[in-house]
């Protein structure tokens, strides 16, 4: 720690350190952002490989590749890794890279803590993945780990899983605190709240959600830990507890969590649609209010995941109405995007293709969400593949396409090179087809009565499962192409100008591409 002797002016004028220490010890938001993105993609491949195991087993009826207990571990780890390892870190990575550039700050507000937030993630996932090799296997109770399957009946590795969740929680909370401090405190002079780019707005609200609900997740896993090791009876009726208590606390975290996985994508998509429509975003203010409304409401709908647990009627009705209401602000966003495109001057480079697909397919996922929200109908949908179809429609073409769109949009800024447009378009079309092939038939499966989390199924579900698996393999294999495109773009390619997209707006396009190691040492003036 020689920082004390240094003056800050020196800090700003040297480049990155050499070797591994650059990454281990860095305080630079761009380095940390890159690490987050790389880590997230690695986790996407890992979680995706597990999905491939699931789809391979479900290719045909009967048990052929894995045993049921291992299948359950795959389902669980797939869900956990995708949610906590792939999607959330990807958005934090985007935030790290882009927030300081967008608000005109020299770095994140608390740079050292920023690095800690990142490094805790590999640590947490090391522990989580190590459970696969433990006696009794990895967690096998679903990513929702309902008690008492996860407490009394959980494998020994559950304890390690609990601590991994604690570490992820610490990481997310610190990351979110950093984001909020950066946004509230580090904006360039003149950038009032209502002039902030939407990605910044959505992240501000996402960070708030994170700080509000990650501690609740930590609380619920702590109660599990106490039940497992210290004889408490939170989730055991014989001592006066209730397994459903677990679900209430979990979903109080879990529902806001799903918006945590989509709001930053909303922000990024807003920039991209506007840029490739060459037209200002329609309804900026209502976009901001809509995101705020979604966030507030997300605290009041958690029990829509629990319509079949036997809540009192009044509870069912309250949660049904509240959930349905969320369609209104979300609708506002969809309408605003469409109106932004209306009478624009549209072109369809890869970011725009992914964004358009995002709008369409996310909306389809939203529609099925609305159907699930109708409590009586949910008695038929609940815990079937209809739910699996719903959430993959909001997560894969939602969160994941949002991340792809952002990645293509900002790759020139990050690397200084243009990516290969033809390959990127190929990536898009193969992903689009594969993804629909994989997940659309799941709606039919669910409606026809196929429960989720089963390694084997009745014969009438055979055809659609086969189609779904083929689509999944196609989608999965396509992601290797993405890896190739990014590596190629990092290594070289056409030089990117400071502003490669003629319709794009914002401070990030005022700095050269690639963005220098230190930017905005002196803040820009925003009018």
Partner 1 sequence: MRVHAKRAVALAAGLLLPVTVMADWTMNMSPGVTSTSNQIFSLHMTILWICVAIGVIVFGVMFWSIFAHRKSRGAKPANFHENTVVEVLWTIIPLAILVAMAIPATATLVEMYDTTESDVDIKITGYQWRWQYEYIDDDFSFFSNMSTPRDQIRNRQAKGEHYLLEVDNPLVIPVGKKVRFLLTANDVIHSWWVPAFGVKKDAIPGFINETWTRVDVPGTYRGQCTELCGKDHGFMPVVVKAVPEEEYNEWVAEQREMAEMERQLTEKDWTLDELMERGERAYATACASCHQADGTGLPPAFPALKGSQMALEDMEGHIDIVVNGAPGTAMQAFGNQLSEVDLAAVITYERNAWGNNTGEMVTPKEIFDYKNQQ
Partner 2 sequence: MADNQTYYVPEQSKWPIVATVGLGVTLYGVASIMVNGKQGESTTGSWIMFMIGALIMAYMLFGWFGAVIRESRAGLYSPQMDRSFRWGMSWFIFSEVMFFAAFFGALFYVRVFVVPWLGGEGDKGSTNMLWEGFQASWPLVNNPDPQAYPGPTEVIGPWGLPLINTILLVTSSFTVTIAHHAMKAGDRAKIKLWLMATIALAVVFMFVQSYEYLHAYRDLDLTLQSGIYGSTFFMLTGFHGAHVFLGTLMLVIMLIRVNKGHFTADNHFGFEAAAWYWHFVDVVWLGLFVFVYVI
Catalytically active residues are 78, 107, 143, 171-172, 255, 257, 259, 270, 304-305, 330, 333, 452
Token code pair at residue 173 = 């909370």
**At closest approach, how far in Å is the CB of 504 from ligand HEA?**
26
Residue of 91, 8, 84 whose CA lies nearest to 46:
84
- Bridge partners (DSSP) listed for residue 451: 384
Encoded one letter per residue, x for contact with partner 2 by CB under 8 A and - for no contact, window 206-245 reads -----xxxxxx-xxx-xx-xx-xxxxxxx-xxxxxxx--x
Nearer to Cu ion, 115 or 247 (CB): 247
Question: Which range, of 166-174, 238-246, 254-262, 274-282, touches ligand HEA by CB under 6 A?
Answer: 254-262
Count of residues that bind partner 2 according to CB under 8 A: 95
Contact of residue 109 among Cu ion, ligand HEA, partner 1, none (CB under 5-8 Å per partner type): none
**At closest approach, how far in Å is the CB of 478 from ligand HEA?**
8
Find the DSSP H helices in 58-110. 68-80, 88-103
**At closest approach, how far in Å is the CB of 387 from partner 2?**
25
Q: How far apart are CA 59 and CA 56, in angstroms?
A: 5
- By CB atoms closer than 10 A (0-12, 13-18, 19+), residue 109 is buried
Q: Is 116 in the site for partner 2 (CB under 8 A)?
A: yes
Token code pair at residue 486 = 């990014």
Using CB under 6 A, pick the residue from 16, 106, 134, 144 that binds ligand HEA.
144
Token pair 């319509």: residue:
307
Q: What is the number of residues in the chain?
A: 527
Token pair 């501000």: residue:
204
Task: Assess contact for 16 and 28: CB atoms under 8 A.
Answer: yes
Find the DSSP H helices in 131-262. 158-185, 198-229, 243-260
Q: How far apart are CA 97 and CA 337, in angstroms?
A: 24
Task: Assess contact for 271 and 506: CB atoms under 8 A.
Answer: yes
Q: How far apart are CA 145 and CA 142, in angstroms?
A: 5
Task: For the segment 194-233, give every residue that binds ligand HEA (CB under 6 A).
Answer: none
Nearer to ligand HEA, 16 or 449 (CB): 449
Task: For the segment 16-55, give every residue that binds ligand HEA (CB under 6 A).
Answer: 44-45, 48-49, 51-52, 54-55
Give me the DSSP letters along 368-397.
Answer: HHHHHHSHHHHHHHTTBHHHHHHHHHHIII
**At closest approach, how far in Å is the CB of 395 from partner 2?**
25
CB atoms within 10 A of CB 482: 21
Q: Where are the beta strands (DSSP E) in 225-317?
A: none
Q: Is 452 in the site for ligand HEA (CB under 6 A)?
A: yes
Using CB under 8 A, pick the residue from 53, 99, 173, 200 that binds partner 2.
173
Nearer to partner 1, 30 or 279 (CB): 279
Contact of residue 366 among partner 2, ligand HEA, Cu ion, none (CB under 5-8 Å per partner type): ligand HEA
Q: Is 127 in the site for partner 2 (CB under 8 A)?
A: yes
The 3-state DSSP class for residue 417 equals strand
- Bridge partners (DSSP) listed for residue 417: 495
Task: For the segment 83-112, give every residue that binds partner 2 (CB under 8 A).
Answer: 104-107, 109-112
**At closest approach, how far in Å is the CB of 327 from ligand HEA?**
4
CA atoms within 13 A of residue 383's CA, in its CB half-sphere? 10
- Bridge partners (DSSP) listed for residue 495: 417
Contact of residue 185 among partner 1, partner 2, Cu ion, none (CB under 5-8 Å per partner type): partner 2
Nearer to partner 2, 133 or 230 (CB): 230
Nearer to partner 1, 110 or 309 (CB): 309
What does the DSSP 8-state code read for residue 86? Answer: I
Encoded one letter per residue, x for contact with Cu ion by CB under 5 A and - for no contact, window 241-260 reads --------------x-----
Task: For the segment 379-418, give every residue that binds ligand HEA (CB under 6 A).
Answer: 381-382, 387-388, 390-392, 394-396, 398-400
Q: How far apart are CA 508 and CA 318, in angstroms?
A: 44
Using CB under 6 A, pick the residue from 322, 326, 359, 407 that binds ligand HEA.
326
Encoded one letter per residue, x for contact with partner 2 by CB under 8 A and - for no contact, window 306-335 reads ----x-xx----------------------
- Bridge partners (DSSP) listed for residue 384: 451
Q: Is 187 in the site for Cu ion (CB under 5 A)?
A: no
CB atoms within 10 A of CB 339: 15
Q: How far apart are CA 320 and CA 318, in angstroms?
A: 5
Residues 6+ apart with CB under 8 A from 214: 169, 172, 173, 176, 253
Q: Is 363 in the site for ligand HEA (CB under 6 A)?
A: yes
The 3-state DSSP class for residue 426 equals helix
Contact of residue 288 among ligand HEA, Cu ion, partner 2, none (CB under 5-8 Å per partner type): none
| Positions in the binding site for Cu ion (CB under 5 A) | 255
| Positions in the binding site for ligand HEA (CB under 6 A) | 44-45, 48-49, 51-52, 54-55, 75-76, 78-79, 82-83, 86-87, 142-144, 258, 261-262, 304-305, 323, 326-327, 330-331, 334, 363, 366-367, 369-370, 372-373, 378, 381-382, 387-388, 390-392, 394-396, 398-400, 438, 452-453, 472-473, 475-477, 479-480
């Amino acid at each position: 720690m020689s920082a004390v002797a240094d003056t800050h002016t020196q800090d700003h004028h040297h480049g990155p350190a050499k070797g591994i220490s650059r990454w281990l010890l860095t305080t630079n938001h761009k380095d940390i952002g890159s690490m987050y993105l790389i880590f997230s993609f690695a986790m996407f491949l890992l979680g995706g490989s597990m999905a491939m195991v699931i789809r391979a087993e479900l290719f045909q009826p009967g048990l052929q590749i894995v045993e049921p207990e291992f299948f359950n571990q795959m389902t669980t780890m797939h869900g956990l890794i995708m949610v906590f390892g792939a999607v959330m870190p990807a958005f934090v990575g985007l935030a790290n890279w882009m927030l300081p550039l967008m608000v005109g700050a020299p770095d994140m507000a608390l740079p050292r803590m920023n690095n800690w937030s990142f490094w805790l993630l590999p640590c947490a996932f090391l522990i989580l993945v190590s459970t696969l090799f433990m006696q009794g296997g990895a967690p096998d109770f679903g990513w929702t780990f309902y008690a008492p399957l996860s407490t009394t009946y959980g494998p020994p590795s559950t304890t390690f899983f609990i601590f991994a969740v604690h570490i992820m929680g610490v990481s997310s909370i610190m990351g979110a605190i950093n984001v909020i401090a950066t946004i509230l405190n580090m904006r360039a002079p003149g950038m009032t709240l209502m002039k902030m780019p939407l990605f910044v707005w959505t992240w501000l609200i996402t960070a708030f959600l994170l700080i509000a609900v990650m501690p609740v997740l930590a609380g619920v896993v702590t109660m599990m830990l106490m039940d497992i090791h210290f004889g408490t009876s939170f989730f055991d009726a014989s001592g006066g507890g209730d397994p459903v208590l677990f679900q209430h606390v979990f979903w109080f975290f879990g529902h806001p969590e799903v918006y945590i996985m989509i709001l930053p994508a909303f922000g990024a998509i807003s920039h991209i649609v506007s840029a490739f429509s060459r037209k200002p975003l329609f309804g900026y203010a209502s976009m901001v209010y809509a995101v705020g409304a979604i966030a507030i409401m997300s605290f009041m709908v958690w029990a829509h995941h629990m319509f079949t647990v036997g809540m009192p009627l009044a509870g069912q009705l309250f949660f049904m109405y509240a959930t349905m209401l969320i369609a209104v602000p979300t609708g506002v966003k969809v309408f605003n995007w469409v109106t932004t495109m209306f009478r624009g001057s549209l072109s369809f480079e890869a970011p725009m293709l992914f964004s358009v697909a995002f709008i369409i397919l996310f909306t389809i996922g939203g529609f099925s969400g609305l159907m699930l929200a109708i409590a009586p109908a949910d008695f038929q949908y609940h815990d079937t593949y209809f739910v699996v179809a719903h959430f993959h429609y909001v997560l894969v073409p939602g969160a994941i396409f949002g991340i792809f769109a952002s990645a293509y949009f900002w790759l020139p800024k990050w690397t200084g090179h243009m990516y290969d447009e033809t390959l990127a378009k190929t990536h898009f079309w193969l992903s689009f087809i594969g993804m629909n092939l994989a997940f659309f038939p799941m709606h039919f499966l669910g409606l026809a009565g196929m429960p989720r989390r089963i390694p084997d199924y009745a014969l009438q579900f055979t055809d659609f499962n086969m189609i779904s698996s083929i689509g999944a393999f196609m989608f999965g294999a396509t992601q290797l192409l993405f890896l190739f495109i990014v590596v190629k773009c990092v290594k070289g390619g056409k030089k990117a100008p400071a502003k490669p997209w003629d319709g794009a707006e914002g401070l990030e396009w005022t700095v050269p591409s690639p963005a220098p190691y230190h930017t905005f040492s002196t803040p820009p003036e925003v009018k």
